[in-house]
Structure formats: structure tokens, C-alpha cells
Structure 1
Amino acid sequence: MSGITRRQAIGAASAVAGAAVVGVGAAQGSAVAAGHGAEPGSFDEVYLGRRIQGGPATGHGGHHAGHGGGYSVRIDGDELHIMRNADGTWISVINHYDPQATPRALARAAVDDLQGAALVPLAPATR
């Protein structure tokens, strides 16, 4: 017998596995942090006949203002409710289950999904 107990062996194996997980987590965290480092720029263009605009939110708060990370997207002048995910991707009320890499890509995907329909604003929160 080597003199090592089962408890010590399990503890050592757990420590090695834990270190491996921490190493992988740190690498993934660095990748996510790198994605968060570059803030999206402003855009204003016509896409499939619809005017899409995006840029830093300016002074219009509201119930959902914090979800977009201080960024606002508009389609034909109407605000598209957006949210930034923890991994740096973006989603909206139009394509909630189809994350996009940038707000511009999100606006274009929303225009695609709307198929010519008007963007209807969300109802204000009632109290």
C-alpha cells in the first residue's frame, strides 16, 4: 500500500479537476471580456427600404432603458427594444431567440423578420 487514503486521492483529483475548470473559465472569460471591450459604433442606413439607426442612448430613460447597455436602435424612427446578453451578443423583442453579434446586425435581422410590417412600440409599464 502506498500510504495514501481514499479521501486524499479524491481530494487531489478534485483539486486537479478544479484547476482545469478554472483555467478553462479564465480563457473563456478573457474571450468574453475581449468581446465587451469594443463598444458598438453608431450607424444610420437604409436596409431593404427601412431606415435603421443605432447609437448611444440619449437621455430617454424608461422602464427598459438599462437592458440595452446604454445603446438605442430605431427602425423607421420607432425604438426597437434591445438587450445585451452576458456573452456580448444582442437580442430584441423581434428576434429574442436569435442573438446577433452587433446592434446593426440585430436591426437588420429585425427588418428581415418584420417582412414589411410596422414596428409596434411596447406598451408602457403600468403601475
Structure 2
Amino acid sequence: MSKNVTRRVVLRGTAIAVAGAALAAPAAMAATRAALPMDHTGMDHSGHGSHGPQPFDEVYQGRRIVGTPVTTGHEAHHGGFAVTIDGKELHVMRNADGTWISVINHYQTYPDPLALTRAAVDKLQGASLVPITTR
């Protein structure tokens, strides 16, 4: 090693090499992924296993509650589920941990859409479900 090479010069060169590798790695990984063919047939994209919530159709406390998996559109791709109370839609969402929430009680989670819908009927206390309007 030359006498003109100091520890500072070596450390600077090492830092530059490490930074270059760190910046190049994500680009190389993205290029590799883009080159691979993707086959989505038969895959569950909901992120919650292959068994989604079960459909239901029952009368609970005198109210007809129905829940069915969504089969078309963006919601179907993410394991969506449609729920109605007396024929009126109850907006429901699945959380990342697999629990469910609704617009009736956005802060209480439920293990499945049936439990969530029964709880919504309890909270409504006989009131009609009013559709959500957006502007």
C-alpha cells in the first residue's frame, strides 16, 4: 500500500462502494421481477387464506340479513363481501388482521361479516339503515 493512502481515503472508498451497491440492488431486483411471467390463476389475493367468510341469509331480531362474497370488480380482487340489512347495503371492510368493521361502528372489530352484521342490527335498535351518499 502506498504511503499516500490514508485510512480516511480507504473508508471513503468503502462507503462509496457500499452506497452504490445499496442503490443498485433494488433496481436489479425490480428488473428481475419484471422479467418473470406472472400467473394469477387459482391464487387467493385477499391476503387472508383461501377460505373467505361464509355467505349467510337469515332473519336476526326480525331483520333480514344477507352476506355474499363480491365476485366482480376491484372489491372481488381483495376478498370483498357485500352485506345487506332488509335489502339496504351495509358498507363493510376487512382489516389487515382479518377482522371486519362497518360504518355502524367503525371502532369495534368483528371476526366475520355475520357477527358484524348481527352487531349492526343490535346498534340500529330498529332504525332503518340509511345509504351512504358521496359527492
What is the TM-score with the length of structure 1 in the denominator? 0.62
- Please, which of 36, 39, 48 is the counterpart of residue 48 of structure 2? 36
The alpha carbon displacement at 1:69 in A equals 3.4
SS in structure 1 of the partner of residue 48 of structure 2: helix
Distance in 2, Cα, partners of 1:101 & 1:36: 12
2:87 corresponds to = 77
Distance in 2, Cα, partners of 1:118 & 1:81: 14
After superposition, residues 12-27 of structure 1 pair within 5 angstroms as none
**C-alpha offsets along residues 94-118 of structure 1, whole Å, 9 cap, x if unaligned?**
0111100000000000000000000
Q: Quick one: structure 1 residues 77 and 84, their matched pair in 2 at CA, closer, same or farther if it must change by over 3 Å? A: same
Unaligned runs of 5+ in 2: 1-46
CA RMSD of aligned residues (A): 2.2
Distance in 2, Cα, partners of 1:74 & 1:91: 14
Matched, 1:107 2:120: no
> Is contact 1:54-1:71 (8 Å) kept?
yes
SS in structure 2 of the partner of residue 66 of structure 1: helix
**C-alpha offsets along residues 30-88 of structure 1, whole Å, 9 cap, x if unaligned?**
xxxxx9222111100000000000011255x6xxx739832100000001000100000
SS in structure 2 of the partner of residue 109 of structure 1: helix
Distance in 2, Cα, partners of 1:112 & 1:50: 10
* 2:120 partner amino acid: A
Unaligned runs of 5+ in 1: 1-34
2:75 corresponds to = 66
